[in-house]
Amino acid sequence: MKWETIQSFLSQQGVFLIHDTTEQRSQFGLLRCLPALDRLGVEEFTYPWRWRQLQSGDGRGLFSYEYSLLQNIEYEDQVLAALTTQYYENETQHSIGGLINRWQERGTMVVVADEKQFQTQQGLRPLYHEPFAIAQRPYDDVYDAVSQWYNDQGFDFPLTDTRNVFLQDNAILYERVAGETVTQTTELFSLLNDAPYLPLYDAIAAAFRSDDGPGTSPKKDHALQNLVSWLRRRIEWDSSTAMSVVRSLNSTVAENTRAFDPAAVAQDASMSDARREARNLDSTPLGQTYKAWLQRSP
């Protein structure tokens, strides 16, 4: 499927269904599609708050985007994406049926679900058979279209084990600044403390933020398990891989009091390298996004 085809879907009134089934349990990995949808121009996202919780009740994503609780969404002519599973739709109070009813005659809504046959509690048939359905596509088709859009701007996805576009962004930036190619997500996380210019660094710094003051601190087992679940909702890892990565990050913080500490970043030589590379980026949409990331202050 082409980028232009998806853009045409997102310009129509109604609901566009994307179904995404990973090898993990249905709720794990479903948020991997968020960065691709953000690239496509989706302006607001809603999904269960539990999937967003990181630590101490705080909620955040891997990157910055507009998130709203289901009950707080108001129509303002924005393209909205709701991410859910058939279990959440059937077995909890978080049905998106009411939201679809409000949206279908007013604007464009993307529904990302774990099944092609996804059906709301109130629906009489699978969502993609409803008269207001624009189309249905697997996430793989959407990802391939976004990948081609990157390729057209001179960027190839280096990582071979994920379809999370934001992680691909970080691998691309690392290659631009450090001159080395990363092909595995676990490798990307292992080098993160030495590459604070990567936007992924900010999310991990937040995960290890100290509860008792400035800086970072190692976490106890229950917090590490929460981080494992948080990452698995966004990355195609099994539980043992995710726990291995999280324990390695925790050990880094335990051994180095300045690890993932934003206050220590300003003196890092790699930040100067990143800002120099930012000046070499083209003025394409992606080039401008990458430039802003490389020039930011974590």
Let me know whether 112 and 182 are in one domain. Answer: no
Per-residue model confidence as pLDDT tens digits over 22-39: 766 666 899 999 999 999
Q: How far, in Å, are 40, 52, 64, 187, 236 from residue 161 at the CA level? A: 22, 23, 23, 11, 8
Average pLDDT, integer, range 240-246: 98
Let me know whether 168 and 138 are in one domain. Answer: no
Dihedral Cα 77, 203, 283, 155, nearest 10 deg: -110
pLDDT of residue 105: 83
Which of 85, 113, 144 represents a domain boundary (last residue)?
A: 144
Let me know whether 186 and 276 are in one domain. Answer: yes
Let me know whether 13 and 32 are in one domain. Answer: yes
Structural domain includes residue 248 = yes
Instruction: Provide the pLDDT confidence category of residue 263 given band limits of 50, 70 and 90.
Output: confident
Let me know whether 102 and 182 are in one domain. Answer: no
Terminal C-alpha separation, the chain:
36
Average pLDDT, integer, range 271-289: 95
Let me know whether 182 and 226 are in one domain. Answer: yes
CATH of the domain at 88: 3.40.50
Let me know whether 11 and 126 are in one domain. Answer: yes
Dihedral Cα 157, 161, 163, 165, nearest 10 deg: -50
Per-residue model confidence as pLDDT tens digits over 54-102: 765 577 889 999 999 999 998 888 899 999 999 999 999 999 999 999 9
Structural domain includes residue 150 = no
- For residue 249, the 8-state DSSP code is H
Nearest-angstrom CA–CA distance, 129 and 249: 45
Listing DSSP states for 126-166 in one string gives -GGGSTTEEEEEEHHHHHHHHHHHHHHTT-----SS---HH
Residue 289 Cα to chain centre, angstroms: 16
Let me know whether 200 and 68 are in one domain. Answer: no
pLDDT of residue 275: 95
Structural domain includes residue 149 = no
Let me know whether 284 and 197 are in one domain. Answer: yes
Which pair of tokens denotes residue 28? 């794990």
Per-residue model confidence as pLDDT tens digits over 178-190: 999 999 999 999 9
State how many domains the chain has: 2
Q: Which domain holds residue 245?
A: 155-294
Structural domain includes residue 219 = yes
Which of 122, 144, 166 represents a domain boundary (last residue)?
A: 144
Structural domain includes residue 52 = yes
Average pLDDT of the chain?
Answer: 93
- For residue 45, the 8-state DSSP code is E
Looking from the CA of 191 toward its CB, the CA atoms found within 13 Å total 19
Let me know whether 129 and 233 are in one domain. Answer: no
3-state secondary structure of 112: strand
Let me know whether 121 and 168 are in one domain. Answer: no
Q: Which residue has the higher pLDDT, 247 or 213?
A: 247
Structural domain includes residue 18 = yes
Let me know whether 139 and 170 are in one domain. Answer: no
Which of 88, 121, 144 represents a domain boundary (last residue)?
A: 144
Place of tokens 């189309």: 135
